[in-house]
Copies of this chain bind each other. A is one copy, B any other.
Amino acid sequence: MAETGGGGTPRERYRAQVRAEIKQHAWERIGTAGASALSLNAIAKQMGLSGPALYRYFAGRDELITELVRDAYRSLADTLRAVVDGKASGKGAQGAPLAPDLAKLAHGLRGWALEDPNRYFLVYGTPVPGYHAPDDTTVIADEIMRMLLDACMALPGDREPAPFAAHLAEHRQWGEGHPAPPAVLHKAVTFWTRLHGVLSLEAAGHFNGMGFDPARLFDAELDDLLNG
């Protein structure tokens, strides 16, 4: 991606560009039918290429999916990073400029998730059947949790910590080295699971016939996390 317009020989630039183009078409197809329906031949046809042509750019279907999963994680992490750094806003700049980082993260997450639900599910949904995620993703997942911990640290008023917070602090193999106290660890995990609960049901369409506005439910959960 970063190589597309940059250095390298013309052939290298062309290669990178076609690779990106293949991925883009892959995302379009994933957006339509989900990740398990990804087909190299179908992508090739859509690009006006012959099936085997794609093997110049990817070793096979698995490598393509691996790359897409990695990109999805990276994209989420970058989006959240940008939101925290104030370079972008999850909801629009007219809102509260003093919004805590946790609110920015939440709205950034929501925007990213709904922008392409299938991409969201590729990261946080049902694992793709015969496929195992690459190791890099756990690194990026950890990076995301660290951002979350940072944002939770800045939050005021932690009442008495729940018993689970202690368990969490004693059994922690994520965000290692981060100085967050037990209550903050708990807050971060809760932030993750609660917002995922709303987002995944919304993105899958499970609120569809119910009548209420999912955005308000999301904001209500966020409020509870900020002030609870």
> Which A residues fall within an 8 A CB radius of B?
33-34, 36-37, 118, 121, 124-127, 129-130, 138, 162-164, 167-168, 171-174, 186, 189-190, 192-198, 200-201, 204-206, 209-213, 216-217, 219-221, 223-224, 228
Contact = CB atoms under 8 A, between A and B. Distances in A.
Per assembly, the copies of the chain total 2
12 contacts: A36-B36, A118-B126, A124-B204, A125-B126, A162-B224, A164-B220, A168-B212, A193-B197, A193-B201, A193-B221, A197-B200, A200-B200
Given A125-B125, A126-B204, A189-B212, 19 more contacts: A36-B36, A37-B129, A121-B126, A124-B206, A127-B205, A138-B209, A163-B220, A164-B219, A164-B220, A171-B212, A171-B213, A172-B211, A173-B209, A174-B210, A193-B221, A194-B194, A194-B221, A197-B197, A197-B200
A129 B212 CA distance: 25
Contacts of A213: 167, 171
A211 B174 contact: yes
Contacts of A118: 126
A127 B204 contact: yes
A3 B221 CA distance: 45
Nearest to A203: B126
Nearest to A173: B211
